[in-house]
Amino acid sequence: MATSADYLTFVLEQLPPLRVVRSRKMFGEYMVYFNEKPVLLVCDNTVFVKKLPVLDNLMYDTPCGCPYEGAKEHYMLDVEDRELTEQVLRAVEAATPLPKPRKKK
């Protein structure tokens, strides 16, 4: 089941307005970027965040799941918990490097 456009809009509205936020459709689902850093996956109307050491204390009791077949396990983020969402996004953004620019062909 693919993520609906309405759910993606809902997710983006829940995110703190502290950064430049954009989404990009990828592999039938969505990647959400904060300041051009990939921080969230939205798959099957569920928000996933990569398991990173900086999140161990914040999300130790959070449910986990795989965003798509063959993916590593990710934390499932409840974006309605705005305080937790903001803490998670700050931590993930700080720990995530900018993607390398693509080489032109």
In a domain, 56, yes or no: yes
Asked if residues 83 and 22 have their Cβ atoms less than 8 Å apart, the reply is no
The two tokens of residue 83 are 């305080």
In a domain, 101, yes or no: no
Q: What is the pLDDT of residues 27-55, one digit of tens each?
A: 779 999 988 899 999 999 999 999 999 99
Is the dihedral angle over the CA atoms 30, 52, 35, 19 positive or is it negative?
positive
Query: How many domains does one find in the chain?
Result: 1
pLDDT of 41 reads 95
In a domain, 103, yes or no: no
Q: What is the pLDDT of residues 85-104, one digit of tens each?
A: 999 999 998 998 888 888 88
pTM greater than 0.95? no
In a domain, 100, yes or no: no
Angle 17-20-23 (CA atoms, 0-180°, nearest 5)?
105
CATH number at residue 59: 3.30.1460
Is the dihedral angle over the CA atoms 19, 52, 26, 99 positive or is it negative?
positive
Q: Where are the beta strands (DSSP E) in 1-105?
A: 21-26, 29-34, 37-43, 46-50, 64-65, 74-76
Domain of residue 18, residue span = 5-95
In a domain, 24, yes or no: yes
| Mean pLDDT of the region 3-14 | 91
